[in-house]
Amino acid sequence: MPSADPRVDAAVQDLLHRLGRPAAEFCASGAAALEVALEVLEVGAGAEVVVPDAGCHSVAAAVVRAGAVPVFVGVGEELTLRPADVALACSERTRAVIAVHQYGLPCDVAGIAEALPPGVAVIEDVAQTWGSTTRGVPAGSTGTLTVTSFGPSKPVSLGAGGALLGAADMISGAVARGDTTDRHRPRPPSPARFPAPLLPLLADAIARADRQLTRRRAAVDGFLDSDLAHHFRLPRLLPGSRAGWTRLPLYPAPSATPRHIEQLADDLGPVQRMHPQPPSALPMFHRCAKRVMAGGRRPVEPLLVTIG
């Protein structure tokens, strides 16, 4: 619905264009957007949802809160779900896959969609990326639905909030605002409502994300031209794809020394090791129904460099 502020309307249209989506419903958070997406897709008790067994636990937590069963699938050196692994993880109860563009790395959403049985939806999670492309199309434009977050650590940051994006006939009214004019869906205001005063900040947040993306890509190009590139390697990218590099995952070669890691921090930014415990092993999921699939494997864990 158009707002009273043309600049806000222009920013929303810019966001939709960047993510290749026709419509958006703004939510309280990225996690809320995931829950609303599952509700829209009628994923509930007894259903299974495939999620990556890496990165943020909030993805699987949203599945559990919806009453569904998370199916954790390991990720390889690409750090994103692979179509073949997703296909093996599916059962007759699988209703959705949450494809996360981890650290700004492009996930093969089109390949995953092709590998799925009929009737299984793909929810594309772009909360950690901005400006990524997957096989030549914008990250966020391929799945059945797309979710994002505007939290303080996200590329497009408003400090809070999130959004569900997709076809208008699928998502319209998914986040109720207490409007009872539609007699067929008279619902009270949803607790997942977006904090409306933040929306005028969207244009500046997009511009800031563009500037950060330019700096990050310049930093990665500088790294690739430096001697450090002989001691660390980037994850493999899909053909025709480009990463947004929210974090820079680097795999150390045998020649990498502590001094090289110090130089990474000096040249690019803070360096930390990827958390060794996958989400499926966290205590919060110990008593939940779940399945865990090996999926991809990594012979060595990457270092995560915060750049920009």
pLDDT of 46-79, one tens digit each?
A: 899 999 999 889 999 999 999 999 999 999 999 9
pLDDT of 2 above 80: no
pLDDT of 284 above 60: yes
**Which residues span the domain enclosing 265?**
207-273
Q: Examine residue 103 and state whether it is found in any structural domain, yes or no.
A: yes
**% residues pLDDT > 90 (the chain):** 80
CATH of the domain at 194: 3.40.640.10
Q: Please tell me whether residues 69 and 184 are part of one structural domain.
A: yes
Q: Examine residue 307 and state whether it is found in any structural domain, yes or no.
A: no
3-state secondary structure of 253: coil
Task: Please give the full DSSP string across 10-50, using - where no structure is assigned.
Answer: HHHHHHHHHHT-SEEEEES-HHHHHHHHHHHTT--TT-EEE
Q: How many domains does the chain fold into?
A: 2
Q: Please tell me whether residues 159 and 246 are part of one structural domain.
A: no
Q: Examine residue 308 and state whether it is found in any structural domain, yes or no.
A: no
Q: What is the pLDDT of residue 184?
A: 52
Contact in structure between 278 and 296 (CB atoms under 8 Å)? no
CA angle 154, 50, 69 (to 5 degrees): 105
Average pLDDT over residues 261-269: 95
Q: Please tell me whether residues 82 and 95 are part of one structural domain.
A: yes
Mean pLDDT of the chain: 91
In 3-state terms the chain splits into helix, strand, coil percentages (rounded to 5) of 35, 20, 45
Q: Please tell me whether residues 160 and 215 are part of one structural domain.
A: no
Report d(CA 237, CA 90) in Å as an integer: 25
Q: Please tell me whether residues 211 and 155 are part of one structural domain.
A: no
Q: Please tell me whether residues 184 and 83 are part of one structural domain.
A: yes
Query: What pairs with residue 193 in β-bridges?
Result: 27
Sequence-ordered strand ranges (E) for 55-135:
69-73, 94-100, 121-125, 133-134
Q: Examine residue 211 and state whether it is found in any structural domain, yes or no.
A: yes
Average pLDDT over residues 132-154: 95
Confidence (pTM):
0.92
pLDDT of 150-191, one tens digit each?
A: 999 999 999 999 999 999 999 988 876 655 555 554 445 566
pLDDT of 120 above 50: yes
Q: Please tell me whether residues 166 and 17 are part of one structural domain.
A: yes
Q: Examine residue 223 and state whether it is found in any structural domain, yes or no.
A: yes
Q: Please tell me whether residues 260 and 245 are part of one structural domain.
A: yes
Residue with tokens 């969207």: 202
Q: Please tell me whether residues 155 and 233 are part of one structural domain.
A: no
For residue 9, which amino acid is it? D
**C-beta neighbour count of 97 within 10 angstroms:** 30
Q: Examine residue 306 and state whether it is found in any structural domain, yes or no.
A: no
Q: What is the pLDDT of residue 190?
A: 63
Q: Please tell me whether residues 42 and 94 are part of one structural domain.
A: yes
Q: Examine residue 267 and state whether it is found in any structural domain, yes or no.
A: yes
Lowest-confidence pick of 121-125, 194-198, 252-256, 300-304: 194-198
- Phi first, then psi, for residue 188 (nearest 5°) are -70, 165
Q: Please tell me whether residues 138 and 269 are part of one structural domain.
A: no
Q: What is the pLDDT of residue 186?
A: 47
Report d(CA 80, CA 87) in Å as an integer: 14
Q: What is the pLDDT of residue 4?
A: 64
Q: Please tell me whether residues 85 and 42 are part of one structural domain.
A: yes
Contact in structure between 28 and 249 (CB atoms under 8 Å)? no
Sort 71 into a burial class: Cβ within 10 Å, 0-12 / 13-18 / 19+: buried
Q: Examine residue 117 and state whether it is found in any structural domain, yes or no.
A: yes
Contacts 24+ apart (CB under 8 A), 11-17: 11/199, 11/202, 11/203, 11/206, 12/199, 12/202, 14/203, 14/206, 15/156, 15/163, 15/202, 15/206, 16/165
Lowest-confidence pick of 103-107, 162-166, 218-222, 273-277: 273-277
